[in-house]
Amino acid sequence: MTTIDYDLEQRAAPAVEEKRKTIEKVSIIISKGSLDGVYPGLIMANGARMEGIDANVFFTFFGLEAITKKRQDRIKVATVGNPGMHMPTLLGVLPGMSWVVTRMMARKMEKLDFPPVSEFVEMIADSGAGIYACKASVDMFGLSQGDFVPQVSGVITVGEFYEEAAGGEIVFT
Amino acid sequence: MTTMELAGVERDADGFLADPQQWNEQVAAEIAREAGIEELTPRHWQVVRFMREAYLATGESPSIRTLGKASGVPIKELYELFPKGPAKLAAKIGGIPKPHGCI
């Protein structure tokens, strides 16, 4: 014969609700050089700082465009090979198409209070986040610190990146 | 949503005032202390008042970008004044809802 111990069941229930876990630090990697490749990482980094979360941004491969002086405000939307555009590939390759689409999107983003890339990077740096360029990519593209905007705190190796990222979450975009 | 009491003021679970009209300077100072800001300096007040006035005029809490451009306090200093997120904290101290934008 079995009896159910209601009292035991009650005792097993946790007395206090577990404290909600929080994220204290994020390191975001931006590896793409299209507008749609750059903005999500910038938004996440800025959003982290707005919530009081520590943040680093590490730019690698074509993501370096976003911190390269001559390039950062010329970043365009990819109109080819981008099914989300709902644009036939053959239209996407037309001269000027990427420019037109980028202008349309930029206007929409300005309405939503999205800053241009240069201002966004500056905002994020001013918020106290670290801005880094990936050494391997910098060497590969033949760039140097002087090609970057002044907000870049350093050209670092992947090992140094992991040191910076220690104790936090890493987000690759 | 739970309601906490701070000098008889109704607040949501995150500590934002349920009704911006219940705000006054003592409430602001007390919320600031809760958040670790012992004393609100004139620079803090400049940001808090800007946030509050913008909200009361437009119905929306301004973004950090607007704050940096129009409050007279640059972004770098905003983060020094309100280390745990300027827009959010200044809104809380100013008795207005949490900013909802992503920027």
Beta bridge partners of A58: A29, A132
Task: Give me the tens of pLDDT residue by residue for chain B, a chain 103 residues long.
Answer: 334 546 678 888 888 998 889 899 999 999 999 999 999 999 999 999 999 999 999 998 888 999 999 999 999 999 999 988 999 999 999 999 998 888 8
Q: Does residue B103 form part of some domain?
A: no
Q: How many CB atoms lie within 10 A of CB B23?
A: 18
* Amino acid, res. A28: I
Q: CA-to-CA distance for A143 and B93, rounded, in angstroms?
A: 46
Superfamily for A25-172?
DsrEFH-like (3.40.1260.10)
Q: pTM of the full predicted structure?
A: 0.85
- d(CA A57, CA A44) in angstroms, rounded, equals 10
pLDDT in tens, A59-112: 999 999 999 999 999 899 888 888 888 888 888 888 888 888 898 888 888 888
**Chain B neighbors of A51, CB-CB under 8 A:** 85, 88
Could you report the per-residue pLDDT of A100-143, keeping only the tens digit for each? Answer: 889 888 888 888 888 999 999 999 999 999 999 999 999 999 99
Nearest CA to A126 out of A151, A146, A154 is that of A151
Q: Is there a domain that residue B98 lies in?
A: no
> Tokens 């005029």 correspond to what residue?
B57
Q: Backbone phi, then psi, for A152, in 5-degree steps?
A: -70, 120
C-alpha angle with apex B51: B48 to B57, nearest 5 degrees?
135
Chains A, B: CB pairs < 8 Å: 45
Count of domains for chain B: 1
Which residues of chain A does B101 touch, with a Cβ-Cβ cutoff of 8 Å? Answer: 112-113
Domain of B38 in residue numbering reads as: 4-93
Q: Does B100 fall in a domain?
A: no
